[in-house]
Amino acid sequence: MKWVWITLGAIAGVLGIVAGIGALLPENHTVTRSSRFEQRPQVLWDAITGPPTWRPEVKSFENLPPRGGHRTWKEIDTHGNAVTYEATQETAPVRLVTRIADPELPYGGIWVHEITIDHEGCVLQITEDGQVYNPIFRFMSRFVFGYTATIDAFLKDLHVKFGDKS
């Protein structure tokens, strides 16, 4: 029985340290990633504004009623987690600004997608202005997953969709 208490104490101690370090980290972060695609801007635009069926981590997708004239949708991932998004600015085919529209999540923020013409296609740059409210999630985002993990996966999946080798 003594070992059970020691183990529980050690787990609580580690969680306390993780939460303490997370509380010291800034709640906000900004990261940018970009990638070149051989497609024309409109083709890329159609992919990122259309159903996310090309993203393996999205199990299902549902269009929702507009909010304030903005397009909204819900994505459910392979773990059953749902996130509601709102497109706050759409200037086809060059700029898309989306935000997480669910105040109950332990994180939030916006993504700015900017598509620029390149000599052989186009470049997609994504900037995330994110917030991580929960200190334990903040620690995990900073030291385990990395702030760019979601953008990196998004760009990789987009390359796979188009059969790119990048």
Supply the CATH classification number for the domain 2-161: 3.30.530.20
pLDDT (average), residues 142-158: 95
Q: What is the pLDDT of residues 104-122, one digit of tens each?
A: 999 999 999 999 998 889 9
Tokens matching residue 66: 């507009």
pLDDT value of residue 15: 80
DSSP code of residue 160? H
**Is residue 128 a contact partner of residue 109, using CB atoms and an 8 Å limit?**
yes
Q: What is the pLDDT of residues 43-87, one digit of tens each?
A: 999 999 999 999 999 999 999 999 999 999 999 999 999 999 999
83-88-134-146 Cα dihedral, nearest 10 degrees:
90
Q: Which of 16, 58, 60 is nearest to 154 (CA)?
A: 58
Identity at 141, one-letter amino acid code: S
pLDDT value of residue 165: 67
Peptide bond into 26 cis (omega under 30): no
Alpha-helix runs per DSSP H in the chain: 2-24, 41-49, 135-140, 149-161
Place of tokens 């620690």: 139
Q: Packing angle between helix 41-49 and helix 149-161, nearest 10 degrees?
A: 120
